A and B are shown apart, each in its own frame.
Chain A
Amino acid sequence: MRKWVAGLALTVIMLFLLISAISMRPFGEPTETEMDDYMNENGQEETGSNNIVTAVVFDYRGFDTLGEATVLFTAVTGVALLMHKKKEGEQ
């Protein structure tokens, strides 16, 4: 019985993955290209950066990068809270 249930579940998941793989859009052809074209055309002029990825990460979406840096800072704080070794004489 368990074998049949596992086989059925596997078949359903396989079918779902196969259907989504077949119906996927071809690589490099998004439905909306306005934002990409805008950044490719004006990114160099507006930010001065030749690397458009960096222009997006540090200029257009700088606030997101600030969040990422804060996440890393919080992670380090958590590790320090757990792993901090007390020196002699420290309470």
Chain B
Amino acid sequence: MNPMSRIVRTVTRYLYPFVILFGFYIIIHGHLTPGGGFQGGAVIASAFAMVIVAFGSKHVDRWYSEEKFSVVESSGLLAFVTLAFLGIGVMFFYNFLANGRSTSLPWLFGDITSGINSGALNTAGTIPLMNIAVGLEVLAGLGAIVYMMFHGREA
């Protein structure tokens, strides 16, 4: 697919960092506001799709590759399963960091929550970490699907 017009490419170039930033905001605030790993990852993958459409699939080979996407995707899923298994002392998916339960890592999302939503980011234990892991998996997975499908058209 050929690149689109200069106007589209310029708008894409300015919009790209803001879409990525918004996606990471949704991922990181998953335990406070609506959204989470899946939704934020889909937003970031849509930024990848925007760049691929605007610049043409041959042109984006400088930035994206199947290897990069698959490495990020696999490490996201591995981190998610590892976090789930870390709580196996009590049960699978036990939240061992929340509300100051951990004595060795109290600074890692371990603040105690109380009252209505005060917007404290450093809470909820493993949930933000799992959000980040799932977010990485979804952004790389959907990005890889879009990237590979655009390449398949030219074959």
Contacts and interface: CB of A to CB of B under 8 A. Distances in A.
Interface residues of A, number: 31
Given A63-B93, A79-B145, A80-B148, A51 B30 contact: yes
Nearest to B134: A69
A49 B80 contact: no
A76 B31 contact: no
B88 to A, nearest CB: 12
A53 interface: yes
B99 interface: yes
Given A45-B99, A58-B130, A72-B138, A50 B145 contact: no
Contacts of A85: 151-152, 155
Interface residues of B, number: 47
B125 A48 contact: yes
Interface stretch (B2-10, B13-21, B32-40, B48-56): B32-40
Contact of A57 (B36, B66, B98, B99): B36
A74 B30 CA distance: 24
A68 B70 CA distance: 17
B23 interface: no
B151 A47 contact: no
Interface in B78-101: 80-81, 84, 92-93, 95, 98-99
A15 to B, nearest CB: 38
